C-alpha cells in the first residue's frame, strides 16, 4: 500500500503519520498490538491512576482515549470506504474521557479491550482494496482518505505509547 500524500489528511495529523515508518500499514497495526500489550504490562499498579500534571489524563484514561479514538477513526474509515459522502462531526476526546469512567476499569481490562477493538478493525481493514483505501470523506469539516485514517490510527497509538513511556513511566 502506498503512503498517504499530504492532501489526504488534515495537517494536524502529519506528526502522527510521520511516526509510521513502514508502507505496510496492516503489518504495523498488527505488530502494534503486541508492542502495546508489552508496554501496558510494564505499568506498575501504583501508576495506573497517576497523572503527571494537573489536568492531564491518568494512564487508564490515556489507554481509554486510544480505544475511543480508534473506534471513531475506524467508523469514519468504514463509512468512507463504503463511499458514504455524509460529512461526519468532530469528536471531542476530552468530553469522551470525562464521561467514560475509565478509572473504574482495570488496566488489564483496558488492554484487553484495546486488543479486541484493534483485532476487529484489522479484520475489516484487511479486505479493503485500493479503491476502498483511496476513498475520501469529510470529518470535522476536513477531507481525509481511508488510507490516511489507517495511518492516523497507527500513529495516534504510537504517539500515546511514547507519552506514557516518557511522562508516566520515567517519573
Pick the CATH number of 6-168 from 3.40.50.11720, 1.20.1600.10, 2.60.120.260, 1.20.120.450: 1.20.120.450
Structural Rg of the chain based on CA atoms: 16
Residue 104 in grid coordinates: 473504574
> Using one digit for the tens of pLDDT, what is the confidence trace for 134-150?
999 999 999 999 999 99
Say what the pLDDT of residue 1 is.
Answer: 77
Question: Taking residues 61-75, what's their average pLDDT?
Answer: 98
Residue 42: HSE in the Cβ half-sphere, 13 Å Cα cutoff: 12
Q: How confident is the model at residue 171 (pLDDT cuts 50, 70, 90)?
A: low
Whether residue 159 is predicted with pLDDT greater than 70 in this model: the reply is yes
> Using one digit for the tens of pLDDT, what is the confidence trace for 75-132?
999 999 999 999 999 999 999 999 999 999 999 999 999 999 999 999 999 999 999 9
Where exactly are the structural domains of the chain?
Answer: 6-168
pTM: 0.96
Say what the pLDDT of residue 79 is.
Answer: 98
Say what the pLDDT of residue 5 is.
Answer: 96
Amino acid at each position: 500500500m502506498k503512503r498517504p500524500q499530504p492532501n489526504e489528511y488534515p495537517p494536524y495529523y502529519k506528526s502522527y503519520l510521520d511516526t509510521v515508518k513502514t508502507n505496510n500499514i496492516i503489518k504495523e497495526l498488527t505488530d502494534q498490538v503486541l508492542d502495546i500489550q508489552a508496554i501496558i504490562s510494564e505499568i506498575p499498579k501504583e501508576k495506573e491512576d497517576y497523572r503527571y500534571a494537573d489536568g492531564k489524563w491518568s494512564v487508564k484514561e490515556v489507554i481509554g482515549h486510544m480505544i475511543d479514538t480508534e473506534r471513531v477513526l475506524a467508523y469514519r474509515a468504514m463509512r468512507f470506504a463504503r463511499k458514504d459522502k455524509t460529512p461526519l462531526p468532530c469528536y471531542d476526546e476530552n468530553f469522551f474521557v470525562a464521561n467514560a469512567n475509565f478509572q473504574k476499569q482495570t488496566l488489564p481490562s483496558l488492554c484487553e479491550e484495546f486488543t479486541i477493538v484493534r483485532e476487529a478493525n484489522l479484520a475489516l481493514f484487511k479486505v479493503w482494496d485500493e479503491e476502498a483505501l483511496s476513498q475520501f470523506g469529510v470529518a470535522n469539516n476536513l477531507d481525509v482518505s481511508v488510507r490516511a485514517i489507517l495511518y492516523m490510527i497507527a500513529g495516534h497509538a504510537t504517539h500515546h505509547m511514547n507519552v506514557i513511556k516518557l511522562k508516566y513511566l520515567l517519573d
